[in-house]
Structure 1
Amino acid sequence: MSTNQPLARHTLEAKYRRATIGNWILGAIAVFLGIVVLAQTLTGQSPTTGTSVAAESADGAQTTGGDMEFVRREADDPKAIGDVDAPVVLTEWIDLRCPFCASFSRDTLPVLIEEYVDTGRVRIEFTDVAYFGEQSEDAQIAAQAAANQDKYVDYITAVFDAAPDSGHPDLTREVLIDFAEQVDMPDMEKFTADLDDPQIRAQAEAETRNAQQLGVTATPFFVAGQAALSGAQPVATFREYLDEALAAVE
């Protein structure tokens, strides 16, 4: 994803390469509509049904309102980093096969951790979705299996660090298990068993449905305070975005 708007980012790179100018325009419109759906949901209005993944990039920014019910603020949350009482929570929706998520994780996230998380000003909470097929869902389940052993952040970081510069990584079962070994998963037997747990799969499917109902049509998608942002934006864009969210609560 490579733009800024209220939280979104998705569509197969191959589709983009084949797209005509008309398809680009239609994709941009679809993303915009998805963002509007999210804003409507957050402000208590009725969202449009059947929200679908439309693109992996979008432009623009938008302010939202209402209670952020997806903000967890749980002290022992394995899918979060930072002070539970930080003034601002940045929620990020990710797909482990999303190339833009990998770019954000490698290039931007370390800077935000140093400047905002380590200083106690921002907490980051991750939510997994599966927008790129069966392997995305398998990876989503593997991420939860890692979270069950408090290895979530290590695991997703390892996956994103190894991702190709473009395109979607091939995350087979064997590869997912290899990543678990790389991050020294405490109990590999439990990890592999969790990959086949139907309850974890059902939880993963529910997370994806919830994201779609919110209007998260692409990844990475972000919400901080009352505003949303989409795509692997430059560090400067995230600084401005987070500074505005912090200023709103001061």
Structure 2
Amino acid sequence: MSSSSSSPSRSSSSSSPSASSLPARRRRLLLITAVSGAAAVLASTVALTGVPGSSGAKETPTASSAAAPDEREASLLALARRKADDPLAKGRADAPVVMITYADFRCSYCVQFARETEPHLVREYVDKGILRIEWRNFPVFGAESERAARAAWAAGQQGRFWQFHDVVYKKADQSDQDRFSAEHLRAMAREAGVADLDRFSADMESKAAGEAVRKDQEEGHDLGVSSTPSFLINTTPLLGAQPLTAFAVAIDKAAEEAEATGKAGKAAR
């Protein structure tokens, strides 16, 4: 798992919470995941801390907070954008399960997930209408990560985000130290089938690209994401490039819960 920072070693950066990420009381969520046993059974917990900017102490449970778990689940489900025309998403907008992926194109564990796990999830869940994957740009390794995130967003403006995503991760083993220069990103966009490369370059440097990346980052920071890849599967957090079985357990559980409670419909906007 790669930690949030300006270099691949440690994190020292922070971000102010987004005004739109959590609808009621903007709270930071602490994500904790444990995977145990050969079957990689998922055991995740989500704990609310204090309002950002406060002492951060946990609230003492009271009678009035009895509905808090339902409110927390609703807040987490509402993070799924479920827009049919979202170029950074794949799968049906009304799929019962949405997996939000917070990732960085320079992250080696993100490479591992994209190459080894994601294709299986697409075949077994996305193509069958069970799962929708929504990408969030979460650059943690400084200027190159930021530039790659902007480039990915720009490719998405021409409907080629996932093709660009695949090209970047395919080339991850190359030793070129300047792999995320504007010139190389443009070359990867060409390989990904982006039709108008001049528009791509302009979009990559645009204010809109910066705002889009910032929005994704703020959403992640509000959740407590500090490393990549991090995932939110409906209301279940999963951290790191876990084994395929861990994702399968989480997705199957979320699908069963969605069918039983009808919460997937409530999450649609």
1:10 has 2:3 as partner: yes
TM-score by length of 2: 0.71
Separation in 2, partners of 1:11, 1:89 = 24
Q: What one-letter code is carried by the residue in structure 2 that aligns with 1:185?
A: V
Matched letter for residue 47 of structure 1: R
CA drift of 1:43 comes to 10
Bigger-Rg structure (1/2): 2
Match of 2:74 in 1: 66
Bigger mean CA deviation after superposition, 217-226 or 204-213: 204-213
Q: Is the 8 A contact 2:8 2:141 kept in 1?
A: no
Counterpart Cα distance in 2 of 1:43 and 1:65: 12
Compared CA separation, residues 72 and 11, structure 1 to 2 (3 A): closer
Residue 221 in 1 paired to residue 230 in 2? yes
Partner of 2:243: 234
Q: Deviations over 1:88-116 (max 9, x none)?
A: 11111111111111110000000000000
- Quote how far apart the aligned CAs of 1:219 are: 1.2
Decide which of 143, 156, 160 is 2:152's aligned counterpart.
143
Change (3 A) 1:132 1:89: same
Cα deviation digits, residues 113-161 of structure 1 (max 9, x gap): 0000111111111111221101111111101100100000111111112
The residue that corresponds to 1:201 in the other structure is: 210
Higher relative contact order at CA 8 Å, sep ≥6: structure 1 or structure 2?
1
Match of 1:120 among 129, 141, 159: 129
1:80 maps to what in 2?
89
CA distance in 2, matches of 1:226, 1:190: 37
- After superposition, where does 1:161-172 map in structure 2 within 5 Å? 161-164=170-173, 170-172=179-181
One of 110, 113, 125 as aligned partner of 2:119 = 110
For structure 2, the 5+ residue unaligned runs are: 13-20, 35-43, 47-71, 260-269
Q: What residue number does 1:54 align with?
A: none
Q: How far does the alpha carbon of each residue in 1:218-238 deviate from its partner, in whole angstroms, 9 at most, with x for none?
A: 111111122110110111111
Whole-angstrom distance in 2 between the partners of 1:176 and 1:211: 25
**Offset, 1:169:** 8.1
The answer for the alignment partner of 1:19 in structure 2 is none
The structure with more helix, counted as a fraction of residues: 1
Equivalent pair of 1:220/1:230 in contact (CA under 8 Å)? yes
- Partners in 2 of 1:220 and 1:171 — Cα distance? 19
Answer yes or no: is the 8 Å Cα contact 1:222–1:228 preserved in 2: yes
Shift of 1:65: 2.3
- Report the TM-score, using the length of structure 1 for normalisation: 0.76
2:87 aligned with 1:93, yes or no? no
> By percentage of residues, which structure has more strand?
2
| 8 A contact 1:43–1:65 mirrored in 2 | no
**Structure 1 CA distance, aligned partners of 2:204 and 2:224?**
28
1:209 is displaced (CA, Å) by 2.4
Shift of 1:188: 0.8
Name the counterpart of 1:152.
161
